[in-house]
Amino acid sequence: MYTQALNTRDLQPVQKEDPERLARFQAKIDAEQKIEPNDWMPEAYRRTLIRQIAQHAHSEIVGMLPEGNWITRAPSLRRKATLLAKVQDEAGHGLYLYAAAETLGVSREELVDQLLAGTAKYSSIFNYPTLTWADIGAIGWLVDGAAIMNQVPLQRCSYGPYARAMVRICKEESFHQRQGYEIMLTLCRGTLEQKAMAQDALDRFWWPALMMFGPSDKDSVHTAQAMAWKIKRFTNDELRQKFVDATVPQAHYLGLTIPDPDLRFNEATGHWEFGEIDWQEFQEVLRGNGPCNRQRMKQRRQAHTEGAWVREAAAAYAEKRKARAAAA
């Protein structure tokens, strides 16, 4: 049965916490000490982490769909093997993250149910279609590139299990970014038609990649508290700017044009200034009205139903082992 709330405890309002306890907790965070599962934590901290880690885990799992779509059509055996490995890595990331969320007292089943019920969020970026092979290059380069920018600071997140899960994830995402860029480079050094495909992919993925960092700071509801708790180390706009600064020169090296007439380098600040993001489009995607929201959820539900026998077999095996151990 699909659940409707973040988790059962989220149905209850947050209790007022003891101020002294809260102060000790904040002091620990300020001293850069990690919070571990058995440590006391304010209920709101726990809920914030469940929300963010669960959304992150769901993004990894749904993120397998647009790329998985190209495994059978990859242009060579080498490309197929690399893409297959990347998609498997994303499944692994989802599992580490669900495991990290479980240390906060929510079950993986509960979180998966929320995703399938459509009550949980996952990254907006995965609601855009992958129309050509160049999109696989653009995803590796831009989407994994944006993910790294966001996730490297999360390795210093105050919650130990999340921070530690991010270490391996970041290593793998770096490799994904490089393979994506290498696909783009190959296309850009290929025929005019191939280069046009690469440009078209950049045109379609640039703005959605910028949206991955979330609403602008003035509209972000969670950033201030998440920064005070050192869950987030940078604001959404700071990370977005870092991403633009790192990525524009990479696009120039490819000989591609960023689809933004307002993009210009500010000599005084040393940053690339960019145009206004279409926040209405972002909100529509979050509301479930992006180009592929319905298709993604339908595919996830279908995969879940078709995988029921695997879960049943694993549960039966675990039961049998338990019975054997009890009898021994």
**Contact window for ligand BYC (CB under 6 A) among 20-28, 186-194, 214-222, 292-300:** 214-222
Nearer to ligand BYC, 198 or 239 (CB): 239
Rg (CA), the chain: 21
Cβ pair 142, 251 in contact under 8 A: no
The tokens describing 169, both together, are: 């994830």
Shortest Å, Cβ 147 to ligand BYC: 4
- Amino acid residing at 214: G
**Contact window for ligand BYC (CB under 6 A) among 38-46, 106-114, 116-124, 298-306:** 116-124
Measured from the Cβ of residue 67, the count of other Cβ atoms closer than 10 Å reads: 22
Shortest Å, Cβ 19 to ligand BYC: 25
Does the footprint of ligand BYC cover residue 300 (CB under 6 A)? Answer: no
Shortest Å, Cβ 86 to ligand BYC: 8
Nearer to ligand BYC, 64 or 197 (CB): 64
- Compute the distance between CA of residue 176 and CA of residue 137 in angstroms, rounded to an integer: 10
Is 273 in a helix, a strand, or coil?
strand
**Contact window for ligand BYC (CB under 6 A) among 98-106, 139-147, 191-199, 256-264:** 139-147
Beta bridge partners of 265: 272
Nearer to ligand BYC, 51 or 300 (CB): 51
Q: How many residues does the chain have?
A: 328
97-100's contacts with Cβ under 8 Å and 24+ in sequence apart are 97/53, 97/54, 97/56, 97/57, 97/60, 97/162, 97/165, 97/169, 98/54, 98/57, 99/161, 99/165, 100/53, 100/159, 100/161, 100/162, 100/164, 100/165
Does the footprint of ligand BYC cover residue 135 (CB under 6 A)? Answer: no
**Contact window for ligand BYC (CB under 6 A) among 23-31, 120-128, 184-192, 311-319:** 120-128
Shortest Å, Cβ 222 to ligand BYC: 3
In this chain, which of 7, 25, 54, 90 binds ligand BYC, going by CB under 6 A? 90
Which secondary structure element, helix H or strand E, spans residue 271, and what is its range? strand 271-273
Does the footprint of ligand BYC cover residue 214 (CB under 6 A)? Answer: yes
- Compute the distance between CA of residue 30 and CA of residue 215 in angstroms, rounded to an integer: 26
Size of the site for ligand BYC (CB under 6 A): 27
Spell out, one character per residue from 274 to 293, where the chain touches ligand BYC: x when CB under 6 A holds, - when not.
------------x-------
**Contact window for ligand BYC (CB under 6 A) among 71-79, 140-148, 294-302, 306-314:** 140-148
- Amino acid residing at 312: E
The conformational region for residue 278 under phi > 0 = left, psi -120 to 50 = alpha, else beta, is beta
The tokens describing 146, both together, are: 């944006």
In this chain, which of 63, 68, 137, 180 binds ligand BYC, going by CB under 6 A? 63
Nearer to ligand BYC, 221 or 268 (CB): 221
In this chain, which of 1, 77, 192, 221 binds ligand BYC, going by CB under 6 A? 221
Binding site for ligand BYC (CB under 6 A): 51-52, 55-56, 59-60, 63, 90, 121, 123-124, 143-144, 147, 150, 211-215, 220-223, 226, 236, 286
